[in-house]
């Protein structure tokens, strides 16, 4: 099906945020990507992790001249934007990924740059979900995504893994199977916390979003992308 992320090119976008001291996780995640993109200072983190970006995007206010020279010497393409602009480096990097043909997006370093930027990255995932582009924010012990209406997620996390969801629209209709608290076409409100603090109980756990936009938090790394529902 056209919306299956496995049939699409995946872009790994490295942001200038917080990275855990587990380089093996980031390298493993990057291996499955079709393109690696550094969002300004995120490219410096890629150098530290032993990764070479396909392209670096941003205003370069957080990427040192030395790092830029090193990347340029290795033939890395750069796309520079003005410092004073209406879009963040993360947004510009995702735009470049889509322009390069990406059909699914992974964001790294999306936490740690401040609560305001973390909220902004949720907004970025929300915009991608509205365009039906699967996207994940990944950390060594976290997979976060925004699922649109008529989407499905097959959770591969081990039983006992933490799970939460939160509607991002006034109304959302969700089904949960294989969780401590299961739901069947339940109507959830954006101003309530009914979906928080759940737990995976089976390896075939599944999330179905029938209507609305829903933020999904799985306390496990590298969960699959959501896909479109066939029925």
- 7 falls in which pLDDT band (50, 70, 90)? low
- Number of structural domains in the chain: 2
User: Does one domain contain both 173 and 130?
Assistant: no
Position 102 scores a pLDDT of 97
- Mean pLDDT, rounded, of the chain: 92
- Final residue in a domain of this structure, among 125, 140, 155: 140
The answer on pLDDT for 229 being more than 90 is no
The answer on pLDDT for 3 being more than 50 is no
State the average pLDDT over residues 132-160.
97
Position 1 scores a pLDDT of 34
pLDDT digits (tens, 9 = 90+) for 109-131: 998 778 998 999 999 999 999 99
Position 2 scores a pLDDT of 37
Task: Mark residue 38 as left, alpha or beta (left: phi above 0; alpha: psi -120 to 50; beta: remaining).
Answer: beta
State the average pLDDT over residues 140-150.
97
- 82 falls in which pLDDT band (50, 70, 90)? confident
Distance CA 68, CA 78 (A): 9
User: Does one domain contain both 170 and 215?
Assistant: yes
The answer to whether residues 12 and 100 touch, using CB atoms and an 8 Å cutoff, is no
User: Does one domain contain both 222 and 136?
Assistant: no
User: Does one domain contain both 178 and 79?
Assistant: no
Of 108, 97, 100, the residue nearest 49 (C-alpha): 108
């Amino acid at each position: 099906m056209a919306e299956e992320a496995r049939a699409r090119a995946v872009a790994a976008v490295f942001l200038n945020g917080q990275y855990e001291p587990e380089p093996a996780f980031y390298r493993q995640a990057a291996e499955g990507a079709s393109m690696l993109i550094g969002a300004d200072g995120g490219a410096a983190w890629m150098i530290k992790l032993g990764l070479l970006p396909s392209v670096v995007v941003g205003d370069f206010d957080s990427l040192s001249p030395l790092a830029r020279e090193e990347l340029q010497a290795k033939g890395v393409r750069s796309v520079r934007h003005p410092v004073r602009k209406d879009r963040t480096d993360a947004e510009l990097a995702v735009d470049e990924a889509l322009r390069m043909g990406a059909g699914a997006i992974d964001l790294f370093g999306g936490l740690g740059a401040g609560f305001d930027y973390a909220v902004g990255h949720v907004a970025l995932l929300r915009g991608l979900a509205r365009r039906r582009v699967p996207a994940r924010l990944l950390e060594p012990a976290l997979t976060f995504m925004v699922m649109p209406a008529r989407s499905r997620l097959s959770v591969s996390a081990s039983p006992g893994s933490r799970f939460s969801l939160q509607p991002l629209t006034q109304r959302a209709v969700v089904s949960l199977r294989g969780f401590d608290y299961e739901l069947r076409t339940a109507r959830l409100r954006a101003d309530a916390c009914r979906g928080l603090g759940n737990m995976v109980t089976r390896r075939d756990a599944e999330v179905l979003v029938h209507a609305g936009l829903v933020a999904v938090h799985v306390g496990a790394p590298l969960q699959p992308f959501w896909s479109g529902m066939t029925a």
